[in-house]
Amino acid sequence: MDLGAITKYSALHAKPNGLILQYGTAGFRTKAEHLDHVMFRMGLLAVLRSKQTKSTIGVMVTASHNPEEDNGVKLVDPLGEMLAPSWEEHATCLANAEEQDMQRVLIDISEKEAVNLQQDAFVVIGRDTRPSSEKLSQSVIDGVTVLGGQFHDYGLLTTPQLHYMVYCRNTGGRYGKATIEGYYQKLSKAFVELTKQASCSGDEYRSLKVDCANGIGALKLREMEHYFSQGLSVQLFNDGSKGKLNHLCGADFVKSHQKPPQGMEIKSNERCCSFDGDADRIVYYYHDADGHFHLIDGDKIATLISSFLKELLVEIGESLNIGVVQTAYANGSSTRYLEEVMKVPVYCTKTGVKHLHHKAQEFDIGVYFEANGHGTALFSTAVEMKIKQSAEQLEDKKRKAAKMLENIIDLFNQVRTDGAVDSWLPLHYSEDGQNRVWAAGDAISDMLVIEAILALKGLTVQQWDALYTDLPNRQLKVQVADRRVISTTDAERQAVTPPGLQEAINDLVKKYKLSRAFVRPSGTEDVVRVYAEADSQESADHLAHEVSLAVF
Ligand code: NG1
Ligand code: ZN
């Protein structure tokens, strides 16, 4: 380690005095102007992590659905997954170190993690379309090079695309080519194969309006659309040519305001969807003939996907276990429908895909979605082997179902192991011995899966929506002096502190029918989030308001 050079370059990316940031659920996130030093330091950290794991590490510069003025950074581990928890702590420590302590902190991390500093390092970098992202990703590169790491800058990418690149590079190309064409080809091939089998291929099933949040999703869908245009034609809105990123559009806006994005003309019963700013979330919606807006959120996406997968398994004659993982934000109606009508076990975890992902790995097939539209389905190695055998051996109908399942696994960006997992995962890298996969929610791949299922089942958007009726709900943000005074348990559904808060919420909830409410500190913004649902929109609004007053 050339400590002199680090000190010299670090001074060019100086930390503002008194600024303390935390590596949260989605890495570091704040106003872009406060992030230069964090980017440089994450470049340094990525090199150490790469040396330790002897693998390629990813760095993504984005603040997802947050306003254009914000930015953020997160590291992507060797199998495309979120950074290991001990390294999240190192990230926080390094980002907050004062200039004179930088050398010591770097040496500390290297010693604690037994990093061989002679080892080569390789880092790949991606960024979203924010005006600040280009310069900030250059600061990441400065950090990488000053520690002697090599890098490849992919430039503009969606977050899931960067995860894909990391995964492909670390699996020696067996999974797919680590290029943008490789990504497009892999997904489109599976989609076109799947939709070939759809009997309903009228125009109604083949066109979709997509609100791209004025972000990276627009660029990438435009590049990709000709690869899958045989099966689907997309019409893009909020493509960044006029509006501001995530402003009055995008998945987060549509979900939290429960209304359509600006900049999109919607005719009745037309199927529409919105991506978020880095294209890892998706929600669907439509206007009915009376002009009423209907949102189809992550819960209903999980329901569609899990019911389709369950039907395929029945067809194939395999009794594999399938489970759905949600968070406290899942609409009560969705949980009831999954458990009581579909007879699928449902589990609730803390907010943040890493928690859902972890739980979903316990099933042969684990489907997880946050209500905001971030999620995917995971398939165990056993499932993949069985399906592969079935696709080769079974007759007609069963074989057709097995083939569909194979293509769906591909479309979800899920690793295909061919049964020989251990022989080709990065040999030196074994964080917890689990066969982790990089798929963690991708708006483009989720969109293609949903479109394929609707076409294969011959479902209209209204029929999909009619699976169950959402309970009216409201989400609010509350600014408090210190959000950490609120702590929670039971997958964030119960407040433990401050004393008396949960009792107050219980009393308020009792006043309404079919009601439920909870509060939790956000992991990405300096706010407390309040959620309430009840039998009418008015009651849900009142309850949310009353609970937010109880938070003060
Ligand atoms: P916080 O800010 O902790 O609520 C938000 C989302 C999460 C997840 C993360 C990461 C809600 C209520 N919360 O977390 O689901 O997506 O951002 O982006 O939607
Ligand atoms: Zn996102």
Model confidence over 415-431: pLDDT tens digits?
Answer: 544 433 334 444 344 44
> Is 271 in the same domain as 307?
no
Position 303 in a domain: yes
Atom of ligand 1 nearest to the CA of 525: 2
Distance 81 CA to ligand 2 centre (A): 15
> Is 303 in the same domain as 447?
yes
Q: Is the pLDDT of residue 200 over 70?
A: no
**Residue 26 CB-density burial (10 A; 0-12 exposed, 13-18 middle, 19+ buried):** buried
| Per-residue pLDDT reduced to its tens digit, 443-482 | 999 999 999 999 999 999 999 999 999 999 999 999 999 9
Which of 71, 356, 370 to mutate to test ligand 1, by most ligand atoms within 8 A of the CB atom? 370
Q: For residue 439, what pLDDT is reported?
A: 65
Per the CB < 8 A criterion, the answer to whether 375 and 446 are in contact is yes
> Is 376 in the same domain as 312?
yes
Q: For residue 422, what pLDDT is reported?
A: 38
Domain count, the chain: 4
> Is 292 in the same domain as 305?
no
> Is 459 in the same domain as 503?
no
Residue span of the structural domain in which 392 resides: 299-465
Closest protein CA for atom 5 of ligand 1: 524
Q: For residue 325, what pLDDT is reported?
A: 98
> Is 15 in the same domain as 76?
yes
Picking from 19, 25, 155, 80, the residue whose alpha carbon sits closest to that of residue 429 is 80
Question: Distance between CA 434 and CA 436 in Å, rounded?
Answer: 6
Marked catalytic residue, from 10, 50, 55, 64: 64
Atom of ligand 1 nearest to the CA of 252: 19
Question: Distance between CA 316 and CA 352 in Å, rounded?
Answer: 33
CATH number at residue 523: 3.30.310.50
Closest protein CA for atom 4 of ligand 1: 522
The set of residues, in sequence order, having a beta carbon less than 8 Å from that of 201 and lying 6+ positions away, is 195, 455
Q: Is 64 a catalytic residue?
A: yes
* pTM (predicted TM-score): 0.94
Closest protein CA for atom 8 of ligand 1: 352
> Is 307 in the same domain as 277?
no
The pairing of beta strand 56-61 with beta strand 346-349: unpaired
| Per-residue pLDDT reduced to its tens digit, 497-506 | 999 999 999 9
Please, where are the H alpha helices in 374-416?
Answer: 381-393, 396-411
Q: How far is CA 394 from CA 337, 365, 390, 403, 409, in A?
A: 32, 21, 5, 10, 19
> Is 334 in the same domain as 448?
yes
Q: For residue 424, what pLDDT is reported?
A: 40
Residues within 5 A (CB) of ion ligand 2: 64, 276, 278, 280
Q: For residue 415, what pLDDT is reported?
A: 55
Q: For residue 201, what pLDDT is reported?
A: 54
Question: Distance between CA 201 and CA 203 in Å, rounded?
Answer: 7
Rounded to the nearest 10 degrees, the angle between the axes of helix 180-196 and helix 396-411 is 150
Please report which ligand is nearest the Cα atom of 374.
1
